[in-house]
Chains A and B, each alone.
Chain A
Amino acid sequence: MKKKILAAILLIALCLPMAACKKADKQYKKISDLNGKYIGMTMGSTYINQLAENDKLSDAQVSYIMSENDGIAMLLAGKIDAFATERLKAENYIRKQPGMVILDEPLASASYSFAFKSGNFLKEEFSEAIVELKKDGTIDELFDKWMNYVPGETTTISQTWRGTKTLTCVCEPSVDVLCFTNENDYVIGFDIDVILSVAQKLGYRVSFERKVYSELLPMVSGAYADLACSGIIADTSRSSFVEYCEEYLPADSVLVVREGSQNGAKNVLRSRKDRLSRAFLDEDRWVRLGKGTLTTIGFCIIVMLGSLIVGWLFFILNYQIGGFLPKLIGAIGAFIDLIPALTWIFIVYYIVFAGVSRSNYIAGLVAFIIMNSFGVSGILSGCVASVSAGEKEAAKSMGYTKLTALKKIYLPQTKSQLLDGLKGVTIGTIKMSSLIELIAVNDLQAMADAVRAETADPYITLVFAALVYAILVYISSKLINKIDASTSIVRSEEEIKNRILKGGF
């Protein structure tokens, strides 16, 4: 027995040091270390082609990311092993968010340029102008200006000249130095100033429209915009539908990896207080989040009101008149029901509102109101259908018109069902309203993402946004429940008599 106890002690003593040893941190040092690993790349970026052409990464897996700020979050969370970006941007990211390093060996050498639809004469005009601006030192001056950006002081060039026409430039303002937004949510940056300098030279004015990165080139190739910027790298593989003007800044494509361990996410997060301060207090970000919240609330209220009105109209058209038109409208509604909400929003924004500038908010409203109206109409139809055939016949036999019977007999007895349905539509609207961020509406989700991008901290503002949405859903549910409760069956003689005499029914 004693021997057994001694052997056990010795065994434990041997194992302890091993257990105490942490696995050695392995740092990705060169590009080939990432072969077979997951590399994040923004959709539509040139990095995908560059990766395909790099022999050292023949087995690397691409993880598509919506934006490079998402890439930072995914990298730090251990979801990907690296993400691709330009060196200029990478240096800015690392400055803001420690815990990342840039691999020395570039993925590819490239340059920044502006994209134009293939065959667009503007490309040549811009190229000539950029050559001149490089020669006279304007490009260098602008670069220095934006590399030393001071919030509240550094601004873009004002368009004080009269232009022969106004060009539309699409951009994603999430690239430090090159294209981003200031504290007043104006789009500013080196790219913007270069474009404005060229435009001034050529006698044009420029209107900047925000899109997500993956939409920039499609917008240009589809002729919805004249040019695109935001640190775009010239990629000849796309020359069939876009062309690039003269380069205005050199750009290497690099890979950013986590500093230290290869074995998953490392907690490089700063203290809670620091994070809260950066997310809300620095640069008065709480104001933008507040404005975004108000935009979301206003959007949802207008959508719900509009949906109720239009939904009621759809329903009455079918209920009262019938015929071909309601059937056609119903078929459209059925189609919209079948497709994802985001697809429908894009259809409205890009197709219905094609050519209408600054239409994002209206397009969002129209898309949501139409989508919800079919739901509201369906709820009303369901309410009427749920009334017993006998009661409908009784109302008809008493001489009630269809409309009077609807208002006085059918809807009153299906109030709970109606309110339940409307509650569902309201909650759906609040939650889905976050999609309008993708058509560049500065709602709560958009502001949360913007702050997330600026602070490179994905968690705080996401949690904030989630809480606000949850509170909005909770409040609206409570309100509707209260309306439902206030309209429940009355039992007292006095209440019934008052209802008859004072017009309550």
Chain B
Amino acid sequence: MLKIENLKLQFGKKLIFHDVNTVINDGDVVGIIGPSGCGKSTFLRAMMMLEHPTSGHIYLGDEDITSWTSDHNEARERIGMVFQDFNLFKHLSIIENVVSGMIHVQGMDRQEAYDEGMKILKEVGLIDKAFMYPSDLSGGQQQRAAIARTLAMKPEIVLLDEPTSALDPLVRGEVESVIRMMAASGHTMVIVSHEMELIKQVCNRVIFFNDGGIFEEGTPKEIFENASKDETRRFVHALKVLELNVDSKDFDFIGSQTQITEFCYKNGVSKALLDRLLAIQEELFQMVIIQPHEQNSMHMVFEYNQKEKELFGSVEFTGEPFDEDDPMYFVSWPIIKMRSTSIETLPAEAPYTNLFKMTIKDK
């Protein structure tokens, strides 16, 4: 078991992460996702004591491996790591790479280590490459060899730092199948990856790392289908977001239309969808800001799913509760309904009084 308490890492004045608390139980396969540069790989390296935490504790079983009295080399023996760039020892053949830790670090008998190494290479499908050198192998084969080298040390927990990122899509599959095999055979693993499908399939827990720490944590279903936080949802669905706030009748409407147009061009939104969105935005502006006597405010969030090519809109506004039969909305509301694929009115949270949620898809 690996327990992390109040872990913080800072490089000079730059805070990487703080207040990180989690427990990785035996048998867990934990996926860590998050935007690039959020510190997830650094978090993994800190678990390995490759980076020394500024404060906090990491307990491997009963041992606090962050303590200055702890033998860090011994702790690293118990935790295995697979790197994005494989990091095989290029002067050693594949079998030598696999047995090197067993012989030099764990002091195993050489014959025993050799036999065990060959067995592991067979498991990862590299037995015929045992006597070749890393430069003779493809990227996927090298990564499998790196995994074999890590597994040979019989670690209590295996950390994988973006194991397929450096591989082209054609060979990713061979590494992913080895990772699935490891998960199926009960290895405790922590995987940092951008491969959402892999995370969904092999992990029993997912951590969304963002804003210098664990932003949200849950099962794959919870994170990928029912994320409680917008940032999590947007990340896992790769949503592109545009937010607009209107709080004055003098609002630069033309400017906002330009903003919308730029957003759509940048994210590959189709012309048809853009036209519909512009029309909806115009009608909303008329309906909520221009026509009423009072000064209303409106908050619009548009999220575009590039994969599904659909736009979600969430529009909150103040003013009288919305009544679609109100003559004031006689012109605009039908246009809005017509232009969106679906729209529903919902109760809003203060300070807003109205909430529209709409979907706009290419017909």
How many Å from the CB of B139 to the closest CB on chain A?
14
Stretch from B30-38, B84-92, B289-297, B347-355 at the A interface: B84-92
For A404, the chain B residues whose CB sits under 8 A away are: 104-105
For A489, the chain B residues whose CB sits under 8 A away are: 91, 133
How many Å from the CB of B142 to the closest CB on chain A?
12
Also in contact, A493 and B131, with CB within 8 A (given A396-B76, A398-B153, A399-B77): yes
A400 contacts B105, C-beta separation under 8 Å? yes
A413 contacts B131, C-beta separation under 8 Å? no
Also in contact, A391 and B50, with CB within 8 A (given A398-B153, A497-B114, A501-B111): no
A500 contacts B88, C-beta separation under 8 Å? no
User: With an 8 A cutoff between CB atoms, is B100 at the interface?
Assistant: yes
User: With an 8 A cutoff between CB atoms, is B269 at the interface?
Assistant: no
Q: Which one of A390, A399, A412, A501 contacts B83 once the chains associate, using CB atoms below 8 Å?
A: A390
For A491, the chain B residues whose CB sits under 8 A away are: 131
For B88, the chain A residues whose CB sits under 8 A away are: 391, 394
How many Å from the CB of B83 to the closest CB on chain A?
6
User: With an 8 A cutoff between CB atoms, is B73 at the interface?
Assistant: yes
User: With an 8 A cutoff between CB atoms, is A134 at the interface?
Assistant: no
What is the chain A residue whose CB lies nearest that of B117?
Answer: A500
For B101, the chain A residues whose CB sits under 8 A away are: 398-400
What is the chain A residue whose CB lies nearest that of B105?
Answer: A399
Also in contact, A398 and B76, with CB within 8 A (given A393-B83, A404-B104, A499-B96): yes
Q: Which of A487-503 contact B (CB under 8 A)?
A: 489, 491-493, 496-497, 499-503
How many Å from the CB of A136 to the closest CB on chain B?
81
B87 contacts A393, C-beta separation under 8 Å? yes
Q: Which one of B48, B93, B105, B110 contacts A501 once the chains associate, using CB atoms below 8 Å?
A: B110
Q: Which of B190-234 contact A (CB under 8 A)?
A: none
User: With an 8 A cutoff between CB atoms, is A238 at the interface?
Assistant: no
A396 contacts B50, C-beta separation under 8 Å? yes
How many Å from the CB of A389 to the closest CB on chain B?
9
What total count of A-B pairs have CB within 8 Å?
85
For A505, the chain B residues whose CB sits under 8 A away are: 92, 96, 100
Q: Which one of A391, A400, A501 contacts B90 once the chains associate, using CB atoms below 8 Å?
A: A391
Q: Which one of A400, A413, A496, A502 contacts B104 once the chains associate, using CB atoms below 8 Å?
A: A400
Also in contact, A398 and B105, with CB within 8 A (given A390-B87, A393-B50): yes
What is the chain B residue whose CB lies nearest that of A409?
Answer: B89
For A390, the chain B residues whose CB sits under 8 A away are: 83, 85-87
User: With an 8 A cutoff between CB atoms, is A58 at the interface?
Assistant: no
B89 contacts A413, C-beta separation under 8 Å? yes
Q: Hey, what's the 0/1 contact readout for A414-429 against B, CB within 8 Å counting as 1?
A: 0000000000000000
Distance, CA A396 to CA B89, complexed state (A): 12
How many Å from the CB of B362 to the closest CB on chain A?
45
For A397, the chain B residues whose CB sits under 8 A away are: 48, 50, 76, 79-81, 83
| Chain A facing B: main interface SS | helix
User: With an 8 A cutoff between CB atoms, is B243 at the interface?
Assistant: no
For B92, the chain A residues whose CB sits under 8 A away are: 505
What is the chain A residue whose CB lies nearest that of B100?
Answer: A408
For B90, the chain A residues whose CB sits under 8 A away are: 391, 413
For B80, the chain A residues whose CB sits under 8 A away are: 397-398
Q: Which one of A394, A399, A401 contacts B87 once the chains associate, using CB atoms below 8 Å?
A: A394
Distance, CA A152 to CA B105, complexed state (A): 69
Also in contact, A398 and B96, with CB within 8 A (given A409-B89, A413-B91, A489-B133): no
Q: Which of B92-123 contact A (CB under 8 A)?
A: 92-93, 95-96, 99-101, 103-105, 110-111, 113-114
For A497, the chain B residues whose CB sits under 8 A away are: 114, 131
What is the chain A residue whose CB lies nearest that of B76?
Answer: A399
A394 contacts B89, C-beta separation under 8 Å? yes
Most buried by A among B79, B89, B105: B89
How many Å from the CB of B87 to the closest CB on chain A?
4
User: With an 8 A cutoff between CB atoms, is B324 at the interface?
Assistant: no
B95 contacts A500, C-beta separation under 8 Å? yes
Distance, CA A412 to CA B80, complexed state (A): 24
How many Å from the CB of A378 to the closest CB on chain B?
22
Contact surface of A with B, Cβ cutoff 8 Å: 388, 390-391, 393-401, 404, 408-409, 412-413, 489, 491-493, 496-497, 499-503, 505
Contact surface of B with A, Cβ cutoff 8 Å: 48, 50, 73-74, 76-77, 79-81, 83, 85-93, 95-96, 99-101, 103-105, 110-111, 113-114, 131, 133, 146, 149, 153
Can you list 22 A-B contacts with CB-CB less than 8 angstroms, sorted by A residue number? A390-B87, A391-B88, A394-B81, A394-B87, A396-B50, A397-B76, A397-B80, A398-B80, A398-B100, A399-B74, A399-B153, A400-B73, A413-B89, A489-B91, A491-B131, A493-B131, A497-B114, A497-B131, A499-B96, A500-B113, A501-B114, A503-B110
Instruction: List the 6 closest A-B pairs by CB distance, nearest first.
Output: A413-B91, A399-B77, A394-B87, A390-B87, A397-B81, A398-B101
